């Protein structure tokens, strides 16, 4: 294992709830061993990137109801290909070479899992996107 790989693996948070079983699919195993820890590690980056996305879209997000804000998050990630690709890059850049080799074998299915997890993560933290009121 290269120095880069061992360093990347050493900084990832452990997720005790991410169980690994013998009957698990390769994609599910990749999700639990690689994607979940990376998404947790990169959480603050996802929040910052999404706040910037809101600003670039003239803060229209803040005028929406809660339900529409949740839709906004999903649409931003599912339909804005440039934004989606930048989020994928934030994750893929944290892969070890060995993980990248596994990823490219089934990138389409893994991308779907990855983006679904990012959507859920941002929706679960929607309170972080409240506009600050200056007094």
pTM of the full structure: 0.91
Q: What is the pLDDT of residues 95-129, one digit of tens each?
A: 999 999 999 999 999 999 999 999 999 999 999 99
Angle at 95 between CA 124 and CA 25, to 5 degrees: 75
Between helix 107-124 and helix 66-79 the angle, nearest 10°, is 160
């Amino acid at each position: 294992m290269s120095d880069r790989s061992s360093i990347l693996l050493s900084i990832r948070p452990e997720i005790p709830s991410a169980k690994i079983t013998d009957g698990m699919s390769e994609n599910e195993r990749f999700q639990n061993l690689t994607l979940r820890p990376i998404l947790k590690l990169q959480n603050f980056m996802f929040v910052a990137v999404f706040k910037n996305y809101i600003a670039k879209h003239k803060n229209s997000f803040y005028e929406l109801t809660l339900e529409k804000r949740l839709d906004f998050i999903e649409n931003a990630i599912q339909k804005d290909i440039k934004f989606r690709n930048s989020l994928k890059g934030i994750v893929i850049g944290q892969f070890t070479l060995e993980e990248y080799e596994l990823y490219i074998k089934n990138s389409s299915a893994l991308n779907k899992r990855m983006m679904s997890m990012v959507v859920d993560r941002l929706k679960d933290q929607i309170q972080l996107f409240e506009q600050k009121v200056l007094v």
